Amino acid sequence: MSYDLNFWRYKPGVSLDNHETYELLSDGQDVDGVEYTPIAEIKKRVSDEFAKKGWEKLDDDN
């Protein structure tokens, strides 16, 4: 079982369609008006925490 988690924050004064923003971000695209999110750093920290528990990494995304 797997699922995607998507987090974002709009820049001040920006209002976009949430569903469209979700779709674009899910496809790995940048969205004008959305704050920078350090994806690589977040994924590394999550991976490091799982590794501490003995979980093995299957590939760069899993």
- 15-55 pLDDT, tens digit per residue, is 999 999 999 998 989 999 999 989 889 889 999 999 999 99
pLDDT score at 36: 92
Where do the domains of the chain lie?
A: 7-62
Whether pLDDT at 61 is above 80: no
Compute CA distances 18 → 9, 22, 35, 42, 62, whole Å: 10, 6, 14, 22, 26
pTM for the whole structure: 0.67
